[in-house]
């Protein structure tokens, strides 16, 4: 039983959280500036294309925001099934790039199904726990379905191989389970199981280059000209930035090409070199503000699906930020995770903005009260 609130399009537009959009745009703006610098003061080839993608993504985000959150609930499993299918398709007929099979060629464009899965998994888990009463969450049998929902795509992504996305999926799912109210001791058990399985994974599941990354993380000087080179140079760039940085477009490490991948995964390093600790804290604050806004939206929602959806998406976003920054600062091994909204790259930009579209949809429809069984209750 619930109050049905139907909003007009105009009402919906008014309801959209424009401050969040402003914050997102600010972060993207930082990205444009860094891409401009990365190209040695040229708008091409990176900044211009990033701007076009951002504009397109922004439109898509607004479109998604206007779609009723109940529609997302209704189609959550369908989207998940489609994403899973795409992952299998990648396994069967994917395009090999950079030594891993991650893309599927859809004729018009290449799609990275693991990106789709990041959102699809959040949707599916949110729907599952939306329909599950608090009392039943504790029952073991109700853990089987989410475990399947989580582990099947994780396994497929690991096979590509894409360790970063697999960890991201696993961590996001864990957060959703946590928010849904799964007992804490179960996390402790799962954590224990993971720790125990690390030696096995090391022997049987990780690829040579993945092991290399981990070893290099543990000892960056192990091979300063090879795998450790990136992280050494990144730390040098970061550290040499100091408190206020070397100035816009003045980063020697970045501009003299000592810093690898400065327009993608290591763009934060360039920012750190050119704007110093002040710049780093500024960008981190923007991110934390966005996350705080997202979580506020989640808590404000009057339906469990919306709460879990927004919470899940924002957790993914946080994980992006944390993993990327921790990686370039040498806190964790190098995994290919971009800095959200700043790194150059179309796919992650799109999936991030679609995610924010979902969060905004939750916000717009925050007062919708949805019964646990929407198909019957509606």
Site of interaction with other proteins (CB under 8 A): 1, 133-134, 175, 178-181, 225, 233, 235-243, 252-253, 255-258, 272, 276-277, 280-281, 284, 288, 291-292, 295, 298-299, 302-304, 307-308, 311, 315, 318, 322, 325-326, 329-331, 369
Our CB check for other proteins shows the closer of 48 and 252 to be 252
Residues 6+ apart with CB under 8 A from 30: 271, 283, 286, 342
Q: Are 150 and 169 in contact (CB under 8 A)?
A: yes
Residue 98, class by beta-carbon neighbours within 10 Å (0-12 exposed, 13-18 middle, 19+ buried)?
exposed
Our CB check for other proteins shows the closer of 1 and 140 to be 1
The distance of closest approach from Cβ of residue 371 to other proteins in the complex, given in angstroms and rounded to an integer, is: 9
The distance of closest approach from Cβ of residue 241 to other proteins in the complex, given in angstroms and rounded to an integer, is: 6
Residues 6+ apart with CB under 8 A from 148: none
Give all strands of the β-sheet with 100-105 in edge-to-edge order.
95-97, 100-105, 110-111
Other C-beta atoms closer than 10 Å to the C-beta of 162 total 21
The distance of closest approach from Cβ of residue 81 to other proteins in the complex, given in angstroms and rounded to an integer, is: 26
The distance of closest approach from Cβ of residue 55 to other proteins in the complex, given in angstroms and rounded to an integer, is: 29
The distance of closest approach from Cβ of residue 158 to other proteins in the complex, given in angstroms and rounded to an integer, is: 24
Our CB check for other proteins shows the closer of 155 and 288 to be 288
Our CB check for other proteins shows the closer of 86 and 169 to be 169
Residues 6+ apart with CB under 8 A from 260: 229, 230, 233, 266
Our CB check for other proteins shows the closer of 149 and 314 to be 314
Our CB check for other proteins shows the closer of 2 and 59 to be 2
The distance of closest approach from Cβ of residue 179 to other proteins in the complex, given in angstroms and rounded to an integer, is: 5
Residues 6+ apart with CB under 8 A from 222: 215, 216, 228
Our CB check for other proteins shows the closer of 86 and 270 to be 270
Q: Are 169 and 153 in contact (CB under 8 A)?
A: yes
Other C-beta atoms closer than 10 Å to the C-beta of 46 total 23
The distance of closest approach from Cβ of residue 246 to other proteins in the complex, given in angstroms and rounded to an integer, is: 9
CA distance 249 to 39: 9
DSSP, collapsed to helix, strand or coil, labels residue 110 as strand
Our CB check for other proteins shows the closer of 112 and 316 to be 316
| C-alpha distance from residue 37 to each of 44, 45, 49, 271, 286 (Å) | 10, 11, 14, 9, 20
Our CB check for other proteins shows the closer of 65 and 325 to be 325
The distance of closest approach from Cβ of residue 230 to other proteins in the complex, given in angstroms and rounded to an integer, is: 11
345 phi and psi angles, rounded to 5 deg = 155, 130
Which tokens sit at 57? 């993504």
CA distance 268 to 27: 12
The distance of closest approach from Cβ of residue 100 to other proteins in the complex, given in angstroms and rounded to an integer, is: 21
Residue 11, class by beta-carbon neighbours within 10 Å (0-12 exposed, 13-18 middle, 19+ buried)?
exposed
Our CB check for other proteins shows the closer of 114 and 315 to be 315
The distance of closest approach from Cβ of residue 138 to other proteins in the complex, given in angstroms and rounded to an integer, is: 12
């Amino acid at each position: 039983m619930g109050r049905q609130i139907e909003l007009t399009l105009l009402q919906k537009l008014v309801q959209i959280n424009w401050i969040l959009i402003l914050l997102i745009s600010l972060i993207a703006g930082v990205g444009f500036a860094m891409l401009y610098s990365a190209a040695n003061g040229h708008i091409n080839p990176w900044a211009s294309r990033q701007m076009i993608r951002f504009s397109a993504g922004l439109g898509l985000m607004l479109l998604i925001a206007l779609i009723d959150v109940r529609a997302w609930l209704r189609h959550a499993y369908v989207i998940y099934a489609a994403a899973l299918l795409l992952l299998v398709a990648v396994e069967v007929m994917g395009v090999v790039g950079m030594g891993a099979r991650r893309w599927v060629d859809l004729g018009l464009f290449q799609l990275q199904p693991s990106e789709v899965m990041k959102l699809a998994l959040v949707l599916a888990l949110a729907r599952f726990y939306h329909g599950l009463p608090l009392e039943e969450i504790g029952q073991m049998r109700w853990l089987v379905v989410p475990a399947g929902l989580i582990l099947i795509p994780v396994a497929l992504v690991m096979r590509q191989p894409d360790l970063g996305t697999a960890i991201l999926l696993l961590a996001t799912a864990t957060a959703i389970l946590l928010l849904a109210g799964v007992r804490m001791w179960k996390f402790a058990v799962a954590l224990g199981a993971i720790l125990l399985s690390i030696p096995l994974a090391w022997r049987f599941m990780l690829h040579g280059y993945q092991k290399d990354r981990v070893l290099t993380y543990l000892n960056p000087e192990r091979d300063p000209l090879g795998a450790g080179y990136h992280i050494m140079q990144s730390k040098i760039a970061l550290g040499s930035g100091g408190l206020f940085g070397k100035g816009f477009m003045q980063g020697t490490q970045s501009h003299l090409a000592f810093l690898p991948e400065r327009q993608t995964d290591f763009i934060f390093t360039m920012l750190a070199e050119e704007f110093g600790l002040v710049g780093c804290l500024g960008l981190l604050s923007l991110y934390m503000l966005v996350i705080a806004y997202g979580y506020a939206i989640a808590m404000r929602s009057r339906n469990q699906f919306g709460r879990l959806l927004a919470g899940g998406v924002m957790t993914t976003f946080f994980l992006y930020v944390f993993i990327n920054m921790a990686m370039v600062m040498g806190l964790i091994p190098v995994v290919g995770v971009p800095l959200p909204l700043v790194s150059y790259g179309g796919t992650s930009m799109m999936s991030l903005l679609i995610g924010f579209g979902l969060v905004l949809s939750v916000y717009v429809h925050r007062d919708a009260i949805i019964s646990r069984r929407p198909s019957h209750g509606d």
